Amino acid sequence: MGDKEIRVPKQKRSIEKKQRIKNAAIKLMSEKGYHSTSSNEIAKEAGVSIGTFYSYYKDKKDLYKELVADIYNVVISPMNMNEESEEGSASSPFDNLDNLSIEETVYLYIETVFKGHEYETAFQREIASLSEQSDEFREIEMVHKKGLTQMFISVLSAYKDELKIKDLKTASYLILTTVEAAVHDTMFHNGGKNKKAVIRELTAMIVNYLFTE
Amino acid sequence: MGDKEIRVPKQKRSIEKKQRIKNAAIKLMSEKGYHSTSSNEIAKEAGVSIGTFYSYYKDKKDLYKELVADIYNVVISPMNMNEESEEGSASSPFDNLDNLSIEETVYLYIETVFKGHEYETAFQREIASLSEQSDEFREIEMVHKKGLTQMFISVLSAYKDELKIKDLKTASYLILTTVEAAVHDTMFHNGGKNKKAVIRELTAMIVNYLFTE
Amino acid sequence: MGDKEIRVPKQKRSIEKKQRIKNAAIKLMSEKGYHSTSSNEIAKEAGVSIGTFYSYYKDKKDLYKELVADIYNVVISPMNMNEESEEGSASSPFDNLDNLSIEETVYLYIETVFKGHEYETAFQREIASLSEQSDEFREIEMVHKKGLTQMFISVLSAYKDELKIKDLKTASYLILTTVEAAVHDTMFHNGGKNKKAVIRELTAMIVNYLFTE
Amino acid sequence: MGDKEIRVPKQKRSIEKKQRIKNAAIKLMSEKGYHSTSSNEIAKEAGVSIGTFYSYYKDKKDLYKELVADIYNVVISPMNMNEESEEGSASSPFDNLDNLSIEETVYLYIETVFKGHEYETAFQREIASLSEQSDEFREIEMVHKKGLTQMFISVLSAYKDELKIKDLKTASYLILTTVEAAVHDTMFHNGGKNKKAVIRELTAMIVNYLFTE
DNA sequence: AATGAATGAGCCTTCATTCAT
DNA sequence: TATGAATGAAGGCTCATTCAT
């Protein structure tokens, strides 16, 4: 009782409509931020009535959650190695590491993270912002980010024997945080200007760290 | 027209009152974030009328600016090396680097950044969030952060001859970003749990990066 | 940003509601003046939520503009001579001056101005007040008043040959100002008490002025 | 009890202070209108504390009343014939009408009204505005204006035998209203541009009206 | 007498959300 | 299903007025 009925669209028309809402939300939130984008505006931008909006989403936060999930699906899935995506999955760049040197692998990883940040950059920046703002938003993000962490640890494990570091857990954490931050800052605050140099130096730093005594 | 007169308190009572407003704001914004904290709430929490609030601050953003400035004064000033503070200034930990090894210096730097993050941790997290959110807020933060960057580069320059890196600019950028991110994440999102390990590994990574071929 | 969407009501229900707002505004502003009437009060008096108020009007001034326009439509349109109103227009009293003596024409004009002041007298008084108060409000009124001036000059021109005055421009200005002021004062400040005598004497004064050497 | 004690300044210093408040009020209200001028602003402009303001005036309206009284003292007193002003009264232009023709007298009267409007024009315009706005303000003005009316009727009575009009009361009313309106409009809304022509035509109109059959 | 910090009612406005059609 | 008019709580801010010093 009281629990509003949220429609799960199955029909093509409905799915399309939902997508229009999401596109509108991403566009507006990228431009003006989550707090300054009103649901009425999103509905209007999507060419949908506000009533329809609320038949698809419980509230604005509900829509936001779905947007974050979508972003992470797009951004993370191409990095996943052994996972079978539902439909004709494109292969991950990490599917076959055997042919690559350690340096090449790290390089590839960083490049992949960069690629992820190139998709809906402004909106991802907004996600990052909201994640900081409240644990509630942060949790939404974390659920999806965990997959990425897991994947990186797998990659690292493949080179386990050659590693010179002892505290693997802290090292992973550090590297993930470092790469994320460097890429984030380069893309969101510096407009990707010195991307190449950052990739090079970052690779050097991490490889050095992992394999030098 | 308008140009509201903002009172600059000189009397002890007034300064105290302004401080109460700032404390209330930090408390509430730490808990609920900038956007979800209303000026009326802040005034009430401070035990002050809303009119008084607006006699000290032009608006909520004006108060925020002062809070950021205060934070950075507390956080950065102890790191400044050669600056003479007005009154009996406590000495900076970087005043005398001659006796320290490179490793010790980097270690000290990281530790100092950690210390900075221990003060009003939750509010600093909110600052970080708003900086992401809009360039306007970002600029407020940047004004104060610049000092920190400058200082680090000075420190690095002291070891110039021994450095093995070529691209000094990117390297500084990377290290600053990295340290900031790692400390930030450790303090804000992990509650400082593995602080010691992070300091150790971070130091290792950076020293390796700077001095290994 | 902002550019609030103002609803233009097409449905009967909505038009009715907008009218209720206007009636409420006229009532309250007549009683207490523009500045002392708040938008919340207007909404309440109209039996409408404040949100609805702001969906029809950008702000209080926007509503005021519409009220002035409405008043002038009601007051001026019956005086217009050759204009074809859109729907089954009632004929103007000045449509056929041929049968009237000069004295009768002036008398008719004054009477018509009086009639105009009988509609929403108190609110017209408020309009007059605001026009004095600021040029911004004055301009709002002037836009609509211009039509009245034009019309009077046309009427006067019809008797051009018989006029004994030299400075036609100043004369028109004087007469318009005079009639307006006398009618205004009689209606707004004396409650229309000696209306008949004023019409008689005013006619005498003007006719004398126009045609006596 | 509760009735705040309003000081009536006797000391030179106090009178001076009160005058500073009045000057400030006239200046600000002329520029921005009564409603948009705050008491705090007036106090500041006068170089006086807000507390002092409220020790001289019960409230803003009280100050306004005094300003209106002052204006009318300055504007009307020079027209008064037989009244003895308190201190070394300057003589009225109407003191000796015996030497003047009727036309000259009317001309003189109109010119005098014009002169009155030249003093603190902008503020008088504001007075006119507020008088329209509410009966309360209107009464404040009327108290002082009545003197002017009385005086004019006296002047008119001096020519009683030559007048051709029957309804003397309505005629006086009409002429006063007319002159006031024409002067007001010429000064307040047309910046006094065609003042000369207005005086000439107005005189002609009134003289004609009074003495032509 | 004078000060001016402090008050708080009340104004304008926005926007997430509901619900009758 | 879809619509969008309507709601009203809540936020930001002003200013006439008081009162402790």
Q: How far apart are CA A94 and CA A108, in angstroms?
A: 8
Q: How far apart are CA A60 and CA A42, in angstroms?
A: 10
All residues of chain D having their beta carbon less than 8 Å from the beta carbon of residue C35 are: 35, 133
Residue D81: the pLDDT is 44
B20 CA to F10 C1' distance (Å) = 24
- CATH node for A1-58: 1.10.10.60
Average pLDDT in the B191-201 region?
91
Cβ of residue B17 lies below 7 Å from strand E: yes
Going from the C-alpha of B191 to that of each of B120, C73, D167, the distances in angstroms are 13, 70, 95
> Does the structure show a pLDDT above 80 at B11?
no
Q: How far apart are CA A193 and CA A187, in angstroms?
A: 8
Q: Where are the domains of chain B?
A: 1-58, 65-78+88-211
B65-78+88-211 has which fold?
Tetracycline Repressor; domain 2 (1.10.357)
Q: Do the chains contact at A132 and B132, CB–CB below 8 Å?
A: yes
Q: Percent of chain C at pLDDT above 90? A: 33
Residue B174: pLDDT band with limits 50, 70, 90: very high
Q: Which of B172, B173, B192 is nearest to B182 (CA)?
A: B192
In one letter, which amino acid is B131? S
Q: Tokens 């890429």 correspond to what residue?
A: A183
All residues of chain C having their beta carbon less than 8 Å from the beta carbon of residue D165 are: 201
CB within 8 Å of C68: residues ≥ 6 apart: C127, C140, C141, C144
Number of A:B CB contacts under 8 A? 102
Residue A195: the pLDDT is 93
Chain B meets chain A (3+ C-beta pairs below 8 A):
yes
Chain A meets chain D (3+ C-beta pairs below 8 A):
no
Q: How far apart are CA C56 and CA D34, in angstroms?
A: 29
Q: Which of A211, A93, A79, A203 is nearest to A153 (CA)?
A: A79
CB within 8 Å of B200: residues ≥ 6 apart: A167, A170
Average pLDDT in the C164-175 region?
86
Q: Comparing B183 with D33, which gets the higher pLDDT?
A: B183
Exposed, middle or buried, D16 (CB in 10 Å: 0-12/13-18/19+)?
Answer: exposed
DSSP state of C34: S
In one letter, which amino acid is D134? S
Q: Do the chains contact at C170 and D198, CB–CB below 8 Å?
A: yes
D66-78+91-213 has which fold?
Tetracycline Repressor; domain 2 (1.10.357)
Q: Comparing C44 with A168, which gets the higher pLDDT?
A: C44
Residue A92: the pLDDT is 61
CB within 8 Å of D207: residues ≥ 6 apart: D102, D103, D106
Q: How far apart are CA B138 and CA B173, in angstroms?
A: 17
Whether CATH 1.10.357 fits C97-213 = yes
Q: How far apart are CA B166 and CA D184, in angstroms?
A: 82
Residue nearest to nucleotide E7 (CA to C1'): B49
> Does the structure show a pLDDT above 50 at B193?
yes
Residues of chain D with pLDDT under 70: 1-4, 77-99, 133-134, 213
All residues of chain A having their beta carbon less than 8 Å from the beta carbon of residue B198 are: 170, 173-174
> Using an 8 Å Cβ cutoff, are D145 and C142 in contact?
no
Residue D79: the pLDDT is 62
> Using an 8 Å Cβ cutoff, are D125 and D170 in contact?
no
Q: How far apart are CA D3 and CA D6, in angstroms?
A: 9
Residue C31: pLDDT band with limits 50, 70, 90: confident
In CATH, what is the architecture of C1-67?
Answer: Orthogonal Bundle (1.10)
Q: Nearest-5° angle of CA A89, CA A91, CA A94?
A: 140
Q: Which of D84, D207, D93 is nearest to D156 (CA)?
A: D207
Residue D50: the pLDDT is 96
Residue B94: the pLDDT is 62
Exposed, middle or buried, A41 (CB in 10 Å: 0-12/13-18/19+)?
Answer: middle
Q: Which of B108, B115, B138 is nearest to B203 (CA)?
A: B108
Indicate which of D174, D176, D200, D213 best probes the interface with C, i.e. most C CBs within 10 Å of its own CB. D174
B3 CA to F14 C1' distance (Å) = 12
Q: Do the chains contact at B174 and A198, CB–CB below 8 Å?
A: yes
pTM for the whole thing? 0.81
Q: Which of B189, B138, B70 is nearest to A134 (CA)?
A: B189
How confident is chain A (213 residues) per 10-residue block, as mean pLDDT?
66 87 94 90 96 94 90 73 45 64 84 89 84 74 74 78 85 91 89 90 93 76
> Does the structure show a pLDDT above 80 at C28?
yes
Residue A95: the pLDDT is 62
Greatest Cα pair distance in chain A? 64
Residue A121: the pLDDT is 86
Q: Which chains touch A (3 or more CB pairs under 8 A)?
A: B
Distance from CA of B165 to the nearest CA of A (A): 9
> Does the structure show a pLDDT above 80 at B73?
yes
Neighbours of D1 (CB within 10 A): 2
Q: How far apart are CA B142 and CA B196, in angstroms?
A: 28
Let me know if the fold of D1-58 is the same as that of D66-78+91-213.
Answer: no
At the fourth CATH level, which superfamily is domain A65-76+89-213? Tetracycline Repressor, domain 2 (1.10.357.10)
**pLDDT tens per residue across span B117-135:** 889 888 888 888 888 777 7
Which window residues (126-165, chain A) lie with Cβ within 7 Å of strand E?
none
Neighbours of C97 (CB within 10 A): 16
**Tokens at C173, concatenated:** 């200005």
> Does the structure show a pLDDT above 70 at B12?
yes
Instruction: Indicate the helix (H) or strand (E) that contains A144.
Output: helix A135-157
Number of B:D CB contacts under 8 A? 3
B48 CA to E6 C1' distance (Å) = 9
Q: Tokens 């105290």 correspond to what residue?
A: B16
D142 CA to F18 C1' distance (Å) = 32
Q: How far apart are CA C70 and CA C64, in angstroms?
A: 10
Distance from CA of B24 to the nearest CA of D (A): 29
